[in-house]
């Protein structure tokens, strides 16, 4: 029979449970199971008045929405629409029905930019997630890796203006003796002619984002308004332990790396950091000597080459403290570089340099899937917030994957034990029926095997 088009009914009421609409293995459901976000209310309680004004939006709800936005690379406007439409996002936000009201985009923007901007909430969220990874056994913290990447600012090159206003055009033309018509002006600010004009960070700034700087990561590429994002990761697990946003300068990578290494004291790591891998950009003598002072072995290729340097000496002593301090620093850096050259000959160094590329993998993941190829907002503080949330969702993905593997490994091990005890039980039963002389010897083993198998089956039923 030819199929007929069915008439669509539009019932007034729908009866369903939100739990039944979302699969059990959905990533948002797994994140909600692993991480408790109730600490958010305590972290921002000083930002609210306890007895005046209208009730505010639940801060935990807003944080959960922001994590969804960074996980799926959604703008704030699109985020509010997605949470309104989809059951899995409402379930993650602890909304029990489709009738619960979703906060407006302007409310999220005001909380993020004004009310919570000085509370340190975004850093606390990332640190809590990192500590959760440590407690789960995912992170040891023994072998670390650091790297930086260029992040384009949310500003156009056409917004660059001189820091100091130049000489007025009429005055300049008068000074050179020009007597022509000067009434023609560009019809639009974007029609500005940059031909022959040289921009530098010392003389020019962006009018829309003054924190951005003209920067290029390598030779042969054009300079653009950018920042630098830095990640310090646990090399084995690829968990981001700390992340920093800095103004694009030549020393930003080394300064940020030391600052991130110092923040590891806030975590309860199972192992003390022993090695730090990096590229040639970190291969300066002062940075390597600072790492050695912290008890960390640098797995970093040097800028100065692989040939050992002689320890500098001076013919004459000095009685000036500042001159002696400069000499001590020079000797300290030469010794540090020579030590790094010896480390570069070991097999551990070669392995660290191979695994160091995991930093690049994380940067690629963040830029391709989580919107870190360009700053969402303007200003260094806003970019730091973006890096905290991006690192948080990347760590949550690592944690979910690790717990899933851990659960499957435990189930496989338990199944193997059950199979072994089942085989033992069968063998003992065969011997019991075929050899009456061994009955008294194996009766105790038979009882023990049956009891153990029952206990294992009970434990397997309780295992999630």
336-341 long-range Cβ contacts below 8 angstroms, 24+ apart: 336/285, 336/288, 336/289, 336/292, 337/285, 337/288, 337/302, 337/304, 337/309, 338/308, 338/309, 339/288, 339/292, 340/283, 340/288, 340/298, 340/300, 340/302, 341/302, 341/306, 341/307, 341/308
Q: Is residue 44 domain-resident? A: yes
267 shares a domain with 291: yes
Whether residues 240 and 366 share a domain: the answer is yes
Residue-wise pLDDT tens digits, 16-29? 777 888 888 899 99
Q: Domain check: are 228 and 376 in the same one? A: yes
* Residue 458's pLDDT band (cuts 50, 70, 90): very low
In a domain, 334, yes or no: yes
My answer on whether 369 and 433 are in the same domain is no
pLDDT digits (tens, 9 = 90+) for 89-121: 999 999 888 888 999 999 999 988 888 888 889
Our measurement of the distance from residue 86's CA atom to the centroid of its chain's CA atoms, rounded to an integer in Å, reads 26
366/442 same-domain check: no
Q: Indicate whether 346 belongs to any domain.
A: yes
Q: Residue 212: how many CB atoms within 10 A of its CB?
A: 28
Considering the domain boundaries, does residue 431 fall inside one? yes
Shared domain check, 377 and 232: yes
Residue 443 structure tokens: 């009766």
Greater model confidence, 270 or 207: 207
Domain region containing 66:
18-119
pLDDT tens profile 375-393: 999 999 999 999 999 999 9
Read off the pLDDT band of 4 (50, 70, 90): low
Q: Is residue 294 part of a domain?
A: yes
According to the model, what pLDDT value does residue 446 have?
56
Question: Looking at the 3D structure of the chain, how many domains does it have?
Answer: 3
Please, which pLDDT band fits residue 297 given cuts at 50, 70 and 90?
very high
**pLDDT at site 200:** 83
pLDDT one-digit tens code per residue, 198-255 = 778 888 889 999 999 999 877 778 888 999 999 999 999 999 999 999 999 889 999 9
30 and 82 share one domain? yes
Q: 433-442 — which CB contacts under 8 Å span 24+ positions? A: none
Last-in-domain residue among 397, 417, 442: 397
């Amino acid at each position: 029979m030819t199929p007929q088009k069915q008439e669509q009914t539009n019932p007034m009421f729908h009866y369903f449970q939100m739990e039944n609409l979302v699969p059990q293995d959905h990533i948002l459901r797994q994140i909600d199971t692993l991480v408790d976000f109730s600490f958010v209310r305590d972290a921002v309680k000083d930002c609210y008045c306890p007895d005046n004004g209208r009730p505010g939006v639940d801060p935990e709800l807003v944080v959960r929405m922001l994590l969804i936005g960074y996980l799926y690379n959604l703008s704030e406007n699109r985020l509010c629409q997605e949470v309104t439409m989809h059951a899995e996002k409402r379930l993650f936000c602890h909304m029990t029905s489709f009738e619960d009201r979703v906060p407006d985009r302007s409310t999220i923007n005001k909380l993020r930019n004004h009310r919570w901007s000085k509370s340190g909430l975004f850093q606390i969220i990332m640190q809590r997630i990192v500590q959760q990874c440590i407690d789960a056994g995912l992170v040891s913290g023994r072998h670390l890796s650091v790297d930086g990447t260029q992040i384009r600012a949310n500003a156009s090159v056409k917004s660059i203006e001189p820091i100091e206003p130049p000489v007025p055009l009429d005055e300049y033309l008068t000074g050179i003796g020009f007597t022509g018509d000067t009434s023609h002006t560009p019809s639009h600010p974007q029609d500005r002619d940059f031909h022959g004009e040289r921009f530098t960070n010392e003389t020019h700034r962006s009018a829309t984002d003054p924190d951005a700087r003209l920067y290029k990561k390598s030779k042969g590429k054009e300079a653009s308004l950018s920042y630098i994002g830095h990640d310090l990761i646990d090399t084995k697990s690829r968990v981001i332990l700390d992340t920093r946003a800095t103004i694009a300068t030549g020393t930003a990578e080394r300064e940020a790396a030391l600052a991130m290494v110092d923040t590891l004291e806030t975590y309860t790591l199972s192992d003390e950091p022993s090695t730090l891998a990096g590229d040639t950009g970190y291969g300066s003598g002062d940075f390597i000597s600072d790492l050695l002072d912290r008890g960390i072995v640098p797995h970093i290729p040097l800028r100065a080459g692989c040939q050992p340097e002689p320890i500098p000496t001076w013919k004459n002593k000095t009685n000036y403290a500042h001159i002696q301090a400069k000499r001590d620093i020079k000797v300290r850096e030469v010794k540090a570089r020579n030590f790094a050259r010896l480390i570069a000959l070991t097999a551990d160094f070669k392995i660290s340099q191979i695994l160091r590329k995991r930093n690049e993998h994380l940067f690629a993941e963040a830029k391709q899937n989580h919107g870190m190829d360009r700053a969402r907002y303007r200003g260094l503080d806003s970019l730091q917030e973006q890096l905290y949330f991006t690192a948080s969702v990347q760590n949550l993905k690592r944690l979910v994957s690790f717990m899933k593997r851990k659960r499957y490994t435990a189930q496989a091990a338990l199944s193997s034990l059950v199979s072994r005890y089942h085989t033992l039980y069968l063998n003992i039963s065969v011997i019991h029926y075929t050899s009456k002389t061994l009955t008294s010897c194996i009766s105790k083993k038979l009882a023990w095997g049956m009891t153990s198998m029952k206990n294992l089956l009970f434990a397997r039923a309780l295992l999630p």
